[in-house]
């Protein structure tokens, strides 16, 4: 059987942009969770490196010469001193350029899958360094545990302090460039080195949503200017029964609603799919 790795959606529950760094990256602080929905990567031994892309959003990657999955494979091969050989197949279930880390999660899945396929004994810190070479969000996607991330994304503290909950994800069919959203934010230059974030104890869903109410997404306002449909998505999520908080993830345009249980999340998913048949909508538990 081919090796398999899931590439779950990465959700920024909060995202603070502290400033623009001298290396042109932005200094961030974000609370990240992963949802039980996403892309799927499979792979098997082969005489060369190849990638097939299928699934509902495969068309958005058509003609892409150097997919992040292939970049990850080549980097890992170089690090191990071997020629990267594998036949990979990516089932693209998540919208592309949608703020939920699809490409980053795919690359992270490639690292995990090929490490097993090639029987590589790779140090976790070395793998994280390789992941960072592919993209700032790839290191946090190497593990699906909730995490605080800061710096440009390379500083990560995993946490098991979050209560269980459900998410309803909704995207209006709008792709957004992360670079354009950060450009529209026009963050000031970073004045000084920032301390790592501190997450208070969150024993209940109420504790979490109360903390998030005071810790939003700094990219939401500039993203809404570039894609006004985001406002419609947020209002639609807020209007669903039992939605406790609605927010945009990452640089958009995917937004999420938070629900205490599966029943309310599934009901909201069904209502949104009926009212907005042109949107991508998915309910999923927090991993």
Q: Is 153 helix (H, G, I), strand (E, B) or coil?
A: coil
As annotated, the active-site residues are 10, 137
pLDDT tens string 122-159: 999 999 999 999 999 999 999 999 999 999 888 999 99
Torsion angle of C-alpha atoms 215, 218, 219, 220, degrees rounded to 10: 60
Q: Give the percent of the chain with pLDDT over 90.
A: 87
pLDDT tens string 78-133: 999 999 999 999 999 999 999 999 999 999 999 999 999 999 989 999 999 999 99
E strands, 45-173, where? 49-54, 86-91, 147-151, 155-158, 166-171
197 Cβ partners below 8 Å, 6+ apart? 16, 29, 31, 148, 150
pLDDT tens string 231-287: 999 999 999 999 999 999 999 999 999 999 999 999 999 999 999 999 999 999 999
Model confidence at 201: pLDDT above 90: no
Per CATH, the homologous superfamily of domain 166-285 is GHMP kinase, C-terminal domain (3.30.70.890)
Residue 174 C-alpha from the chain's centroid: 16
Class of CATH domain 3-158? alpha beta
Q: What is the reported pTM?
A: 0.95
Number of helices (H), then strands (E), in the chain? 8, 10
Residue at token pair 């920032």:
194
**All structural domains of the chain with their residue ranges:** 3-158, 166-285
Please provide residue 260's backbone torsions phi and psi, each rounded to the nearest 5 degrees.
-75, -25
């Amino acid at each position: 059987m081919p090796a398999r790795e899931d590439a779950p959606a990465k959700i920024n529950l909060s995202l603070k942009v502290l400033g623009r760094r001298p290396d042109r990256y932005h200094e961030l602080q974000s609370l990240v969770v992963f949802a039980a929905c996403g892309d799927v990567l499979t792979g098997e031994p082969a005489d060369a490196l190849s990638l097939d892309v299928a699934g509902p959003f495969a068309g958005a990657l058509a003609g892409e010469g150097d997919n992040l999955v292939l970049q990850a494979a080549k980097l890992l091969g170089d690090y191990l001193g071997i020629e990267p050989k594998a036949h990979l197949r990516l089932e693209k279930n998540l919208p592309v350029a949608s703020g939920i880390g699809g490409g980053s999660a795919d690359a992270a899945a490639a690292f995990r899958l090929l490490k097993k396929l090639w029987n590589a004994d790779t140090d976790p810190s070395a793998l994280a360094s390789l992941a960072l070479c592919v993209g700032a969000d790839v290191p946090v996607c190497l593990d699906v545990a909730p995490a605080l991330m800061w710096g440009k994304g390379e500083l990560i503290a995993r946490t098991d302090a979050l209560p269980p909950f459900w998410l309803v994800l909704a995207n209006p069919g709008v792709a957004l460039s992360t670079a354009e959203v950060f450009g529209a934010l026009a963050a000031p230059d970073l004045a000084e080195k920032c301390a790592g974030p501190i997450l208070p104890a969150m024993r209940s869903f109420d504790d979490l949503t109360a903390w998030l109410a005071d810790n939003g997404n700094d990219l939401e306002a500039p993203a809404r200017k570039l894609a006004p449909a985001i406002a419609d998505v947020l209002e639609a999520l807020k209007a669903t029964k039992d939605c406790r908080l609605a927010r945009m993830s990452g640089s958009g345009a995917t937004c999420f609603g938070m629900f205490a249980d599966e029943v309310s999340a599934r009901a909201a998913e069904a209502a949104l799919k009926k009212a907005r048949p042109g949107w991508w909508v998915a309910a999923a538990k927090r991993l």
